[in-house]
Structure 1
Amino acid sequence: MDINKEVNPRFEDFLFDWNQKFQFLMGGYGSSKSYHVALKIILKLLSEKRKALVIREVYDTHKDSTFSLFTEIIEDLGLLDESSRKKVAKGKIRPKESPYELRFSNGSKIIFKGMDKPAKLKSINNVSLIWLEECSEVKYEGFKELIGRLRHPKLKLHMILSTNPIGEDNWTYLHFFKDDENDRFVLDDNELYQKGTVVVGDTYYHHSTADDNLFLPDSYIEQLDELAEYDPDLHRVARLGRYGVNGKRVLPQFQVKSHEEVMRAIDEIDKPLFKNGLDFGFVESYNALVRMAIDHENKYLYIFEQYYKRGMTDPELVEDLDPYKKIMIKADSAEPKTIAYFRQRRFRIMGAKKGPGSRLQNTKKVKRFKKIICSDACPDVIRELKNLTFAKDKKGKIIEDEFNIDPHTFSAIWYGLDDYEVASIKGHNARRKTG
């Protein structure tokens, strides 16, 4: 069957490239990535008898997005079967609603499902092609579940994922690019932005922006450009199609330097104040010990050492932290039995003061430092605090004592600074060099 269709040059190679199992498309608004994914699937199913599954997080959103898009393309190609016959007319495609479905005359079929109705997925078999649209909205567990649904005795398997990038804490970034917490690196996203198309192993990466869509009116691109003036986060996502910090950063003054540089700076402080904080965890949450030095005159906070581990019993934690037995540690006072156990083992440890509103006050305290300089020897502190953002309520208003993640190292810093005020030197018990 000959099909003539004008497409954006940026997607020409993508339309017929089926070499990899996974194809990950990301980019800005209006880049036409969804359109070309739908067209690619139609062309594939016209040439081969396959069953394809199209997934969104919420099933009802298919009506005005993916199902509507497929139908539009089919009509434009002149392939719409509007007959009332039982069989689909030769070379045609017939849309069906309730449930949404597309049937091809060669026996191919596209079915539409939502992750909000997982039971509907269990009865699906022989799916050789899956499109996960707006994949950043789907949970990571859902993505892994779908990989298990992708199976066929003969045909080569493919999964296409498309999305507008959001925060670097989203599973799509952690899985397809890098996950510092689990020391996993696949691809530097900056390389993708530069090259546009990259292949790593069995994954094909594709990046696009509105500039790649030759059918967009100039006025649309101008609207995207204007976002830079009043919403830089949305401009990064919508116009540039790039990952980054999604939201207002809690600690914009946070920076990372080499361990040697940090220790030299601490040595040059006149009467540095050394503070140590410990946040307790167990199965899901982490035990986090953070060691800090304060340059009170300049209002600089240096972070030079960390301990970060979970799944520890109290005896195991005591053994691990034995090298810190002689330093004064302020810990989470919500665990008095654990603190008592540490004191029995001759640790210099005290519970930090906690009360109503303490989370907000502690956050404001840390934000008062002019600079927060972290050693590169503290990877978990960097991972949690570098891109830490405030949570938002349903109206989009910032919640000043809630964050996008549960930052255990931030809690440890709160406890360590328990008796310190950035604006006052009273009550410091300052010590030189170590303590």
Structure 2
Amino acid sequence: IDTLQMTGKFRAITSPHEITYTLTGQKILFFGLDDPAKVKSIKLPFGYVGIVWFEELDQFSGMEEIRNVLQSLLRGGEKYWVFCTYNPPKSRNNWVNEEIIQARPDRLVHHSTYLDVPREWLGEQFFLEADTLKNKNELLYRHEYLGEVTGTGGAVFDNVEDMAMSDERVGNFDRLYYGLDFGFAVDPLAFVAIHYDKKKEEVYIFDELYRQKLTNDRTGKWLKRKYPTAMLIADSAEPKSIAELRSMGVNVRGARKGRDSVDYGIKWLQSRRTIYIDKRRCPNAYREFVTYEYERNREGQFISAYPDKNNHAIDAVRYGLDDVMQHDKLVAKHIDY
């Protein structure tokens, strides 16, 4: 306000903490969320809350807390604006980083760094410190100064990229594979549609079905409608579900599992040049792949083991590409021999 030379048009007090625009009586209200009741007890003399700003978003406990605030504030108006500002946490598993990759038509994500503002705003010492860290530890520099989600060093897949895939591009995919991981109450059912470019060693994931409490009957009807001639490879640990889908006319068989099938499948995916996922078409597959991390020991250190959670779409991809993986495994054994 002072910078805009509008100090005379506003009145600020500290108890309660608020700023009033004297010409209209409109107010800027400040609240800490240590006590959620503070927000619920707001009573406005007129109008409604039209703009909400969450500062240091990553310091909140999660989207449930944010939703509770918005449900209390966004009432009785025609238009609302919600701003969230924060420095991205390092871990891809942080709730903020998981939330921001969820596509919403009413959301705009803007990323800016110290390089986007006039140099005099920060001073030369700031730039000196940034350059020093860049030369000393580029990964830390990218996180602390460029706001990149660099990860904790425990990401299982570092070859995943988002790619917007048009209907025309998807229509030109030739080598198609389909995988299905069963689930119901706690774990969701996950189906994925995949194109694999063997020559370039590139995986393209372009469609998904990801839902809890989806019966085999409803799943079968969806598959028959959308992929009537597709051959699916599903989790062989669910022979009853496979049989039910077959009775509905779905072309499906179980994946060939072995003692090392999970490890081999994940390492095979890790060794692909790129795993392209359209996060608009497949938000859940994208989220799983970019947030999947190795297990940790009691000291919090990463170990070379894969957690069996939040990996339903990943499992579906492994099943879908089972034939390709089995072929590559046989070729590798033949070469070794």
TM over 0.5: yes
- How far off is 1:350 after superposition? 2.1
In 2, Cα distance between the equivalents of 1:367 and 1:348? 28
**Matched residue of 2:32: which SS?**
strand
| Residue aligning to 1:54 | 32
**Matched residue of 1:303: which SS?**
strand
Matched, 1:45 2:17: yes
Which aligned pairs between 1:317-396 and structure 2 lie closer than 5 A? 317-323=219-225, 324-354=227-257, 358-373=261-276, 378-380=281-283, 383-384=286-287, 387-390=290-293, 393=296, 395=300
Q: Report the CA distance shift for 1:307/1:124 in structure 2 as closer, same or farther (over 3 A).
A: closer
Aligned AA for 2:168?
Answer: E
Which aligned pairs between 1:117-128 and structure 2 lie closer than 5 A? 121=37, 125-126=41-42
Aligned AA for 2:32?
Answer: V
Q: Report the CA distance shift for 1:352/1:159 in structure 2 as closer, same or farther (over 3 A).
A: closer
TM-score (norm 1): 0.52
Give the one of 309, 316, 326 matched to 1:412: 316
- How far off is 1:320 after superposition? 0.7
Aligned AA for 1:384?
Answer: R
| Residue aligning to 2:335 | none
Aligned AA for 1:395?
Answer: G
| Residue aligning to 2:181 | 279
Q: Percent sequence identity over matched residues?
A: 21
Residues 292 and 301 of structure 1 are in contact (CA less than 8 Å); yes or no, is this contact kept in structure 2? no
The Cα offsets for residues 79-115 of structure 1, whole Å up to 9 and x where unpaired, read as xxxxxxxxxxxxxxxxxxxxxxxxxxxxxxxxxx37x
Q: Report the CA distance shift for 1:239/1:341 in structure 2 as closer, same or farther (over 3 A).
A: same
In 2, Cα distance between the equivalents of 1:396 and 1:224? 28
In 2, Cα distance between the equivalents of 1:52 and 1:140? 20
| Residue aligning to 1:252 | 159
| Residue aligning to 1:140 | 63
**Matched residue of 2:179: which SS?**
strand
Flag structure 2 segments of 5+ consecutive residues without an equivalent. 21-26, 75-80, 332-337
Matched, 1:314 2:216: yes
- How far off is 1:329 after superposition? 1.5
In 1, Cα distance between the equivalents of 2:260 and 2:283? 26
Matched, 1:186 2:107: yes
Flag structure 1 segments of 5+ consecutive residues without an equivalent. 1-8, 20-39, 56-112, 152-157, 197-207, 428-435
Q: Report the CA distance shift for 1:370/1:327 in structure 2 as closer, same or farther (over 3 A).
A: same
Give the one of 161, 164, 167 matched to 2:87: 164
In 1, Cα distance between the equivalents of 2:197 and 2:18? 68
More strand by share: 1
In 2, Cα distance between the equivalents of 1:293 and 1:51? 52
Aligned AA for 2:68?
Answer: E
In 1, Cα distance between the equivalents of 2:283 and 2:267? 21
**Matched residue of 2:306: which SS?**
strand
- How far off is 1:280 after superposition? 2.3
- How far off is 1:330 after superposition? 1.3
Count of aligned pairs: 304
